[in-house]
Amino acid sequence: MEPNRGNDRNNPQKPNKPKGNYMTALMIALVLVLLFSWISNAIKSSQYNQTTYSDFVATRDAGQLAEVEIQSDRIIYMTKEEAAKSPSQQKACYTGLPSGSDTRAMAEELVKMGVTVNKLIVEDNSMIMMILSYVIMIGGLFLVMNLVTRRMGSEGMMGGFGKSKAKVFMEKQTGVTFKDVAGQDEAKESLQEIIDFLHNPQKYTAIGAKLPKGALLVGSPGTGKTLLAKAVAGEADVPFFYISGSDFVEMFVGMGASRVRDLFQQAAKVAPCIIFIDEIDAVGRSRDNRLGSNSEQEQTLNQLLSEIDGFDSSKGIVCLAATNRPEILDKALLRPGRFDRRIIVDRPNLQGRLDTLKVHTRKIRLAEDVDLRKIAQATAGAVGADLANLVNEAALRAVRNGRQAVNQEDLLVSFETVIAGTEKKNTVLTDMEKRLVAYHEVGHALVAALEKHSQPVSKITIVPHTSGALGYTMQMPEEEKFLSTAEELRTELRTLVGGRAAEQVVFGVQTTGAANDIQRATALARNMVTQYGMGSNLGLMTTASVQNQYLDGQAYMDCAQSTAAQVDQEVKEILDSAYADAKRILTENRSLLDEISEFLLVKETITGDELMAYVNADNQALPAPQDEPDTQEEPTAE
């Protein structure tokens, strides 16, 4: 390991820096002096009315001159008419002085005529004095600007606009290896080849193979794309250039392209190395934009494409990039020979979440009752950043409660805080509102407990939370699944509308507490019809397409208006059927619904085991096998 390697590479052009500062300071000083001179002359000229020398002579011969000032190149005079006005309204005139004029004789003649001569400038060295004053001004400004540019360094003033903002890290500075990245085994396996190439390039060049110049890391926010890139640099023990795509875009046209050139020039000097461009969609957006074009963005993209084509991959320069919007990238950026290898950094599965939790809890003091597997089961769909935040929140809670270690309750409460917020202890519900919330939540839980293919209920609470929920029902999957059948989705629909069904069966009312349930149920039913081909009328036809699958994943209708009307009708039929089934289940088990609700009103929070104790003790309860839980744990919150 070279101790000063990173510092030398950060300043590859240090010897030439003073000369650039001097030239920059001199240019700025000249520009400022000329600008000041122009502004000064413009201000002076605006104070007078410009006339001809003949007008001045005529005014003099008519005896209308009041005051005269004779300068080396002009005559400034005021007529008696203007002198009679108030000082704020007076405005003098000026005219040029003919060459060869005897200014002293002219002044004596004006004095004899009774004209006041304020100033007489007849020195022959006036031009020399003017030049000398300009030299002094330029010299002073040069010293000041040279000091400023030297302090600002390569990033200061005009000399730094085109410099790259890339940060250079060495292996000791990043401190990240593949041991610090969990849950992304497939992505690490794809990147392992790049590391091997950086270590042994001759092994590939001997057979004539060429490693891809660029690899694109694609995934949802928080999955660890930047962490993976740093880990590759740490494993390969090479310089790591990190820059964001937005750093290339400037208000000055051409500055982004200049920064791209500077970045690749720095990388060529320290090869082998890795260039990582985060959020490349900021600069690599498709140029086929119907709403208009961005000249600066297009020039920067063109320069990036030419630089990738220009460098020789055999020298050990690898360009990595990350984005969560691959669909908007320019096609030229993704063609073979550029970013032609796409590495998916997906949400971790159960084992991946467990490994990620182990990584984030390495420096956390854990109690003996902690079971990270249960936490991994509960956090289906979470990314690495979510799990890191969960562990940190649990550690903060343990400190607030005065404990020296994080226990299982801290982790579970932190998870519930993420999905429902913290408890609102000052919210007071009326007795009627409290009963409505209790029956609503038990309606969800009882339908789930009495149905097949449902996720087991782990907790029911009627304690208000800061997310706006007056209570919620939490379901916990026993194992992770990646496919859902139509019957499993219909069971989930019946569970979602079970709260509204309980309100209708017991109280005969409809409340606003079911708003979130209805929204989620409608979205699920619409996906069943438009994407999953589970409708009865439209069959296998897809009527919606997903855009930004790594961001919100929202589906947009892609069909005729008449077809969209059919979709709406079929979604309504699916929801009506689920609602009718939920009401039937709760009506047939009304006594069980009342018994569990009264118990919940007393305790405010009950566990899934307590719920199943009531269900199993009731002779009229339907069998509730739970051998095929769904993939995701999603609490029902109102």
Residue type, 52: T
DSSP state string for 396-465: HHHHHTT-SSB-HHHHHHHHHHHHH-SB-TT----HHHHHHHHHHHHHHHHHHHHSTT-PPEEEEE---B
Element (H, E) at 229: helix 225-236
CA angle 221, 225, 228 (to 5 degrees): 150
d(CA 145, CA 348) in angstroms, rounded, equals: 55
Q: Which of 279, 393, 416, 441 is catalytic?
A: 441
CA 361 to chain centre: 27
Report whether 321 contacts 285 (CB < 8 A). Answer: no
Report whether 320 contacts 276 (CB < 8 A). Answer: yes
CA 195 to chain centre: 29
CA angle 93, 61, 123 (to 5 degrees): 55
Query: 344 pairs with which residues across the strands?
Result: 218
The first and second tokens of residue 297, run together, are: 């963005």
Q: Which of 472, 402, 410 is nearest to 444 (CA)?
A: 472
Count of all residues that appear for the chain in the document: 638
Measured CA distances, 334 to 179, 264, 346, 558 (Å)? 30, 19, 20, 26
| Whole-angstrom Cα Rg for the chain | 39
Residue type, 550: Y
Report whether 36 contacts 141 (CB < 8 A). Answer: no
d(CA 326, CA 548) in angstroms, rounded, equals: 8
DSSP state string for 462-522: ---BTTS-S-EEEE--SS--S---HHHHHHHHHHHTHHHHHHHHHTS---GGGHHHHHHHH
d(CA 261, CA 248) in angstroms, rounded, equals: 11
- The answer to whether 279 is a known catalytic residue is no
- Residues serving a catalytic function are 441
